[in-house]
């Protein structure tokens, strides 16, 4: 029987990151499950504090600090950066002595990341950053609902996604993994009774967030800096917002319980998630709208005529929607076909 020491070099390497912070239970459970499986070499590079909803923010003008921490069975660092920073540093080869991961998994996030929420999500950004540099990646999120969810459900969510992680790594090894996208995975609230995996497309679901005036104290000091296109600083002061001056107004974000959710197809991420499926949404970083399409002959009016970008935009939107709804959903590598063919049994 081979020992772990003998096989460790041959094991695929998985880098785990998140946006909730290295101490978050979702990440801790995911790492425990990966280590216990004995099939991976596990690396962890995650923010040292909560970085939820920072989107794809990166650190540019200052150095970041990486501190090695004890995580059983893994090589782990807590980093004073964003999720995108952590993914970038983790795949760079600089942090883990030249080791480049075969797969990056970001999560498990506390809260779903469907529809337009992927724009705000630091969890999705961690996976996207790896994708941008050619590393296969998965963002994992659990649809936490207060009063129904428990911390233990985060562990169950990680366990439920383990077959998917195995499948992706198998395809990476066989050089059959689709390279044109990364996977955004959302696990339903009632994870013990989930209906299986379902390939979905990104919808338009969004929880509205607004602002309200407040007079309560907020974190003690924050630095606000604004620079114009010439690089000169317009505002560069330390503002103590716990004790505002007379000319300062305090506002805080408020979550509106109503969501923007147009009537959507059943195969959109949020609709399928509500129906109890673990959704797998392939995402990329390119728009369906290409510049050349806006430079067609139709955009060359006769002298004195005006160009209707509104009319053209509507036409392009309809064309794009028709292509999305067509066969194969334009998922490079035909993820939908693979899942449907095997009905998530064996492959996932």
Q: What's the pLDDT tens digit per position in 249-266?
A: 888 888 776 555 567 777
**Shared domain check, 275 and 133:** yes
Asked if residue 144 has pLDDT above 80, the reply is: yes
**Shared domain check, 183 and 75:** yes
Domain containing 131: what range?
A: 4-203+270-283
Residue at 340 is within a domain: no
**Shared domain check, 242 and 229:** yes
Q: For residues 11 and 155, give the distance between their C-alpha atoms in angstroms, rounded to a whole number.
A: 23
Report pLDDT for 215.
81
pTM above 0.85? no
- 169-180 mean pLDDT: 93
Is beta strand 103-110 parallel, antiparallel or unpaired with respect to 74-79?
Answer: unpaired
Q: For residues 46 and 90, give the distance between their C-alpha atoms in angstroms, rounded to a whole number.
A: 9
Is the CA virtual torsion 227, 233, 238, 243 positive or negative?
A: negative
**Shared domain check, 36 and 68:** yes
- Compute the radius of gyration of the chain from its Cα atoms: 22
Q: For residues 143 and 191, give the distance between their C-alpha atoms in angstroms, rounded to a whole number.
A: 9
Give me the helix-helix angle, 151-173 and 25-37, nearest 10°.
Answer: 50
Q: For residues 274 and 277, give the distance between their C-alpha atoms in angstroms, rounded to a whole number.
A: 7
Q: What contacts 67, CB < 8 A, 6 or more positions away? A: 48, 77, 78, 79
Report pLDDT for 246.
66
**Shared domain check, 109 and 36:** yes
**Shared domain check, 226 and 194:** no
Residue at 249 is within a domain: yes
- 80-90 mean pLDDT: 96
**Shared domain check, 238 and 173:** no
Question: How many domains are contained in the chain?
Answer: 3
264 vs 113, which has greater pLDDT?
Answer: 113
- 189-206 mean pLDDT: 91
- 40-44 mean pLDDT: 98
Most confident of 1-5, 135-139, 243-247, 254-258: 135-139
| Residue that has been written with the tokens 């497309």 in this structure | 201
Q: For residues 44 and 71, give the distance between their C-alpha atoms in angstroms, rounded to a whole number.
A: 8
**Shared domain check, 141 and 115:** yes
Report pLDDT for 108.
97
Asked if residue 157 has pLDDT above 60, the reply is: yes
Report pLDDT for 207.
78
203 vs 191, which has greater pLDDT?
Answer: 191
Q: For residues 95 and 78, give the distance between their C-alpha atoms in angstroms, rounded to a whole number.
A: 11
Cβ-based neighbour number of residue 298 at 10 Å: 13
**Shared domain check, 175 and 82:** yes
Burial class (CB in 10 A: 0-12, 13-18, 19+), 118: buried
- Sheet of strand 137-142, all strands in order from the earlier edge strand to the far edge: 66-71, 74-79, 41-47, 13-17, 103-110, 137-142, 182-187, 278-283, 197-199
Q: Residue 40 is part of a domain; what is its CATH number?
A: 3.40.1210.10
Of 42-51, 88-97, 313-322, 336-345, minimum mean pLDDT range = 336-345
Report pLDDT for 13.
98
**Shared domain check, 183 and 100:** yes
- pLDDT tens column, 268-321: 999 999 999 999 999 988 765 555 555 554 444 555 555 454 554 454 445 444
CB of 141 within 8 A of CB of 153? no
Q: What mean pLDDT, rounded, does the chain reach?
A: 78
**Shared domain check, 211 and 119:** no
Report pLDDT for 24.
94
Of 128-132, 169-173, 199-203, 241-245, minimum mean pLDDT range = 241-245
Residue at 116 is within a domain: yes
- 63-76 mean pLDDT: 96
Residue at 64 is within a domain: yes
**Shared domain check, 329 and 220:** no
Asked if residue 222 has pLDDT above 80, the reply is: no
Residue at 342 is within a domain: no
Q: For residues 191 and 185, give the distance between their C-alpha atoms in angstroms, rounded to a whole number.
A: 13
Q: What contacts 144, CB < 8 A, 6 or more positions away? A: 110, 111, 112, 153, 189
Burial class (CB in 10 A: 0-12, 13-18, 19+), 337: middle
| Residue that has been written with the tokens 């996977």 in this structure | 183
Of 6-20, 94-108, 211-225, minimum mean pLDDT range = 211-225
217 vs 163, which has greater pLDDT?
Answer: 163
């Amino acid at each position: 029987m081979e020992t772990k020491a003998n096989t460790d070099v041959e094991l695929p390497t998985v880098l785990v990151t998140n946006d909730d912070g290295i101490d978050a239970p979702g990440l801790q459970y995911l790492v425990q499950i990966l280590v216990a499986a004995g099939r991976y070499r596990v690396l962890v590079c995650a923010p040292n504090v909560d970085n939820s909803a920072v989107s794809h923010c990166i650190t540019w003008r200052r150095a970041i600090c990486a501190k090695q921490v004890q995580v059983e069975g893994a090589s782990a660092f807590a980093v004073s950066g964003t999720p995108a920073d952590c993914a970038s540093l983790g795949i760079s080869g600089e942090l883990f002595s030249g080791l480049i991961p075969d797969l990056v998994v970001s999560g498990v996030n506390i809260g779903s990341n469907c529809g337009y929420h992927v724009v705000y999500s630091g969890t999705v950004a961690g996976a996207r950053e790896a994708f941008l540099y050619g590393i296969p990646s998965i963002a994992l999120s659990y649809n936490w609902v207060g009063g129904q969810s428990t911390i233990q459900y985060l562990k169950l969510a990680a366990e439920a996604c383990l077959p998917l992680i195995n499948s992706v790594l198998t395809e990476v090894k066989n050089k059959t993994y689709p390279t044109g996208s990364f996977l955004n995975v959302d696990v339903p609230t009632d994870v013990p009774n989930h209906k299986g995996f379902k390939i979905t497309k990104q919808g338009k679901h969004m929880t509205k967030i607004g602002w309200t005036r407040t007079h309560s104290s907020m974190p003690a000091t924050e630095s606000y800096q604004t620079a114009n296109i010439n690089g000169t600083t317009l505002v560069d002061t330390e503002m103590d917002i716990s004790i505002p001056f007379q000319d300062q107004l305090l506002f805080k974000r408020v979550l509106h319980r109503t969501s923007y959710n147009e009537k959507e197809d059943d195969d959109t991420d949020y609709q399928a998630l509500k129906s109890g499926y673990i959704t797998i949404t392939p995402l990329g970083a390119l728009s369906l709208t290409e510049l050349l399409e806006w430079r067609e002959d139709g955009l060359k009016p006769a002298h004195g005529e005006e160009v209707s970008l509104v009319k053209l935009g509507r036409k392009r939107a309809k064309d794009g929607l028709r292509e999305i709804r067509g066969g194969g959903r334009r998922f490079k590598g035909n993820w939908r076909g693979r899942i449907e063919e095997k009905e998530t049994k064996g492959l996932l």
